[in-house]
Chain A
Amino acid sequence: MNSCSITREPIKVEEIASRVTRPEAGAVALFIGTVRELTGDKRTLYLEYQAYEAMAVKKLEQIRTEIGERWPDAQVVIVHRIGRLEITDIAVAIAVSTPHRDSAYEANRYAIERIKEIVPIWKKEHWEDGEEWIGNQKGTQEYKTGKPEVTEIEN
C-alpha cells in the first residue's frame, strides 16, 4: 500500500496510525486537520478541495523522503481528502512513528508545513454569501520564479 495518497472517502485515522505502528517505535504522532467553521468573522458552510492528483501524490512522497533524510528513524503516512467536506470533517491525516517522542512531533509538524508549501491541493470556502478559492495561507510572497520558496524549518 502506498504511504501517501489522495482520497475522496472519509479518512480513517486509526487505520492510518496503525500503518506506522511497529515494535521499534515508542511514539506515534497523529495530526488531524479538520474543517473549521469560523475563520475570522466568516462562517464556512462547507469546503471543496481540489488536487492535481498525480503531482500531489508525488509531492507527498517527496515530503516523506525529506522526513526520512532529517529523521532517519521515522515512518510516515499522509492521506489528504478532496471533494466536498463538511464542518469537522477530516481533510488531512499525518501519522509519524519514531523510537522517541521528540522526533515524532517534529517530523509531523514538518510534514504539515511542507504540505502547505509544495503540495498542489486547493480549498474553496463556501459561505452563505459567497465562495472563494483560498490561497497563500502561509503568507508567502508572489512566486516570482514560478517555483515555491523552499524554506528550511529549524529543528
Chain B
Amino acid sequence: MKIKVLLFAHLQEEAGKGEVELELQGDTVKELMAVMEKEYRLTRLPQAMIAVNEEFADEETVLKEGDSVAILPPVSGG
C-alpha cells in the first residue's frame, strides 16, 4: 500500500527531501521505519517519535492505504 512519509530537521536533510511516497509491503510503523532506514540511510531513528495522520503513534501502530506518517526527531521548539 502507498504511504506518505514526512521528514523533518536532520532527517529531511539526510533524505534530501521532506516528503516521500512509499510502497510498503508490511503494515506497521516498525516495518516502515526499517524501509526508511535502509533506503534513505536515516540516522538517529531510535530517538524519533512517530505521528500517523498528525497524532502520536508507536511502532506497533497498523497503517492503512493513504496514511501520512511523520518521523519526528526530538523536538526543540520554544
Task: Name A residues whose Cβ lies closer than 8 Å to a Cβ of B.
Answer: 33, 49-52, 54-56, 58, 80, 91-92, 112, 115-124, 133-137, 140, 142-148
A52 touching B8, Cβ below 8 Å: yes
A112 touching B78, Cβ below 8 Å: yes
The secondary structure that dominates the A interface is mixed
B77 touching A146, Cβ below 8 Å: no
In the complex with contacts A146-B29, A147-B58, A148-B56, A51-B49 CB distance below 8 A: no
Looking at the assembled complex, report how far the CB atom of A91 sits from the nearest CB atom of chain B, in whole angstroms.
Answer: 7
Give Cα A146 to B71, complex, Å: 9
B46 touching A116, Cβ below 8 Å: no
- What residues of B have a CB within 8 angstroms of the CB of A115 in the complex? 77-78
- What residues of A have a CB within 8 angstroms of the CB of B1 in the complex? none
Across chains A and B, which 7 residue pairs bring their CB atoms closest together, nearest first?
A: A121-B77, A135-B74, A146-B58, A122-B9, A133-B9, A136-B74, A55-B54
Give Cα A146 to B77, complex, Å: 18
Q: By CB atoms of chain A within 10 A, which of B9, B29, B77 has the most?
A: B77
In the complex with contacts A116-B78, A122-B9, A143-B74, A52-B58 CB distance below 8 A: no
A122 touching B8, Cβ below 8 Å: yes
Closest to A135 in B: B74
Q: By CB atoms of chain B within 10 A, which of A49, A51, A122, A144 has the most?
A: A122
Looking at the assembled complex, report how far the CB atom of B56 sits from the nearest CB atom of chain A, in whole angstroms.
Answer: 5
Interface string of B41-76 (1 = CB under 8 A from A): 000001111110011111101000000001011111
* B15 interface hit (Cβ, 8 Å): no
Q: By CB atoms of chain A within 10 A, which of B49, B72, B73, B74 has the most?
A: B74
- What are 10 residue pairs bridging A and B, where the CB atoms are less than 8 Å apart in the complex? A54-B54, A55-B51, A115-B78, A121-B75, A133-B13, A135-B47, A135-B75, A137-B74, A143-B47, A146-B58
B77 touching A92, Cβ below 8 Å: yes
Q: Name the one of A92, A117, A144 contacting B75, with C-beta atoms under 8 angstroms.
A: A117
Closest to A112 in B: B78
Q: Name the one of B9, B47, B70 contacting A142, with C-beta atoms under 8 angstroms.
A: B47
* B24 interface hit (Cβ, 8 Å): no
* B3 interface hit (Cβ, 8 Å): no
